Amino acid sequence: MSARQVVAGIGRALIAVGALLLLFVAYQLWGTGLAESNHQSSLRHQFDQQLAHAGHPSTTQPPLCPNVPTVAGAAAAAAPAEGQPVGELVIPKIGLDKVIVEGTSTADLRSGPGHYTGTPLPGQAGNAAIAGHRTTYGAPFYNLDQLAAPDPICVRTEQGWFIYRVSRTVIVNPSDNSVLQAAPTNELTLTTCNPRFSSAQRLVVQATLDAATPAPSAPHRPAPPASADGLAGEQGAALPAILWGAALVAVGVAVWLFGRRRRHKWAYYGAGLVPVLAVLFFFFGAVSPLLPASF
């Protein structure tokens, strides 16, 4: 093999890698949003059923936040199972209206903003904490940096509407979970990656319940245990990405070998592009959980 052929092969390999990276960026920015939209539809349907069972109107009408009847506080209640709807999060200033899911694992945050398990539920005494993606999976917290005191943040649960007012915005390291610590008053903490398209830091917006009367007392809840993940949440496993990557290489090589000796090889390559793209989609889906959970 001549030096010219080696250089040409390296050039083709670099072009292929560049194309893969561009496709992965497109998947992260738009493909993940389609998945989040489907999950949100399912969660909203479940939450509507919960509201109906509790005797409240569904969420199908645009919320009137912040001009809704305010609940001063809620008694302690058990959190739903992981992956189940917790409530509805509405932030008028940034046009956000999403159903909150229980949990902050990679799978949970694919569905929408996730409630940190171990913190109080929204409306209850203490520091209720919610994480959300900044640039992927619908990017619910894309414009979280635009919030400032005293912007309203509204949460609806089976117990009613709770209106919080932003009190401060801070930036911390991903390993710093001090913002999740217990609080004596009704507070809400929102976390996401910072800056956009990076996971180097965490943007934290904290708010206090806007109510004229104190909330009912609630049992003491210990702060979430410190972990290596901190505010990053749980990341996915590498094995599925490795297996799908191997499948992608196998399918790509098979298409190339099948078409290279055919007279109309480009027609075969075109037809083979369909299974390659299908496997590529699942490969990207397996790689995506390896990124920080709130990226």
pLDDT by residue (tens digit) across 114-140?
999 999 999 999 999 999 999 999 999
Residue type, 31: G
Question: Can you give the pLDDT at residue 193?
Answer: 93
Tell me the average pLDDT of the chain. Answer: 84
96: exposed, middle or buried (Cβ count in 10 Å: 0-12, 13-18, 19+): buried
Sequence-separated contacts (24+) of 258-266 with Cβ below 8 Å: none
**Among the listed residues 97, 70, 68, the one whose alpha carbon sits nearest the alpha carbon of residue 209:** 70
Residue 169 pairs in a beta bridge with: 205
| Residue 143 clears pLDDT 90, i.e. is over it | yes
Q: Helix/strand/coil (H, E, C) string of 96-162?
A: EEEEEEECCCHHHHCCCCEECECECCCCECEEEEEECCCCCCCCCCCCHHHCCCCCEEEEEECCEEE
| Residue 242 clears pLDDT 80, i.e. is over it | yes
| Residue 109 clears pLDDT 70, i.e. is over it | yes
Q: Which fold has domain 37-232?
A: Sortase; Chain: A; (2.40.260)
Task: Tell me which of 109 and 61 has the higher pLDDT.
Answer: 109
Question: Can you give the pLDDT at residue 240?
Answer: 87
Task: Tell me which of 216 and 30 has the higher pLDDT.
Answer: 30
Spans of all domains in the chain: 37-232, 235-295
Strands (E) located in 173-249: 186-194, 201-209
Find the mean pLDDT for residues 23-43. Answer: 88
Question: Can you give the pLDDT at residue 221?
Answer: 43
172 φ, ψ (degrees, to nearest 5): -130, 170
Give yes or no for a contact between 104 and 246, defined as CB atoms under 8 angstroms apart.
no
95: exposed, middle or buried (Cβ count in 10 Å: 0-12, 13-18, 19+): exposed
Give yes or no for a contact between 42 and 135, defined as CB atoms under 8 angstroms apart.
no
